[in-house]
Amino acid sequence: MEFSAVQIAELVNGKIEGDSTVCVNTLAKIEEGHIGALSFLANPKYEEFIYTTKSSVCIVNDSFLPSKSLPESLTLIKVEDAYSCFAKLLELYSQISKKKPGIESPVNISESAKLGKDIHVGAFSYIADYTKIGDKVIIYPQVFIGDNVEIGENSIIHPGVKIYNDCKVGKNCIIHAGTIIGADGFGFATDENGIFQKVPQIGNVVIEDNVEIGSNTTIDRATMGSTFIRSGSKIDNLCQIAHNVDFGSNSAMAAQAGIAGSAKIGNRVLIGGQAGISGHLHIADETKIVAQSGIPSTVKKAETLMGSPGIPIEDFKKSYFGFRKLPIILNKIQELEKKINDISTENK
């Protein structure tokens, strides 16, 4: 779809400097611009690229004053906040790019499933018995949705997602490709011979509204009850959330992090990549866990934790400073030992 500079300026309440009739049909980073592309400049460290960019239109802050000549083919749209305006345009572009309502073929949709208005179902998807799909839901190809699953309106389920029986997904959620919701939790008990026996996992996963889950993440169903992902939370790619976890609202978790069973994560908690959180503990609201940290016990008050086991970040920095000086300290100890031995030998 093509937009003129005038149309874009109207959308973002901007002022045009240059050719108001020029049109764009794609978005590009300013350093990778090309004819027909729309870019933006918000960070001053990228200013050098605006003098060589091949983009047709660039959104800049009102305060931007070029220090040298701009390309003749470049039209500027000046706005109060270039970054937020470009984000608005990205959202608009995303909405335009959405799949149109309709059901592709082949698909398997149970006669007992209840489908909302204006939904899209991609080819080779499977929608099982007694499912409830809300209005304007988009289901991409090769998605499996099990018995009794509920998906709220305006949610997007990307290709290859598997949602097991009885799980619930709220409104305005996005689940990216390859994610599995509701597989069995890792529940086993040994018998008198030390042989593992499976503990049936009969709970479900409940994902509340406005949650986004990255690709190839796994969220296990509860042994009993529910595994919860609370409203507004954001989970990155390749994360593991175990059975009966309660992941608080507006919390975020970066890639390759893992949470063991029955842990309770507070609200507005930030978890860095490759962090690990043990089971059956609580993490206080607004805690920050630095990447690759390990949390083995309950965190009772909000603080930033680093290391394994995780300790307050300032304590970690002091400890690490000492750790880095260990070779020097060891050399000094060896020198002292040698001097002591030399003195002992002389006194004999």
Q: What is the dihedral of CA 122, 125, 129, 135, to 10 degrees?
A: -20
Structure tokens, 130:
């007694």
243 belongs to the catalytic site: yes
Structure tokens, 311:
């300790």
What is the three-class DSSP state of 57? strand
- Catalytic: which of 34, 243, 280, 282? 243
Nearest Cα residue to 25 out of 79, 96, 78, 76: 96
Beta bridge partners of 53: none
Classify residue 13 as exposed, middle or buried by CB count within 10 Å of its CB (0-12, 13-18, 19+): exposed
Q: Where are the alpha helices (DSSP H) in the chain?
A: 5-12, 47-50, 82-97, 313-324, 326-346
How far is Cα 13 from Cα 214, in angstroms, rounded to an integer? 33
Taking CB atoms within 8 Å and a gap of at least 24, the contacts of 127-133 are: 128/165
The residues assigned a catalytic role are 243
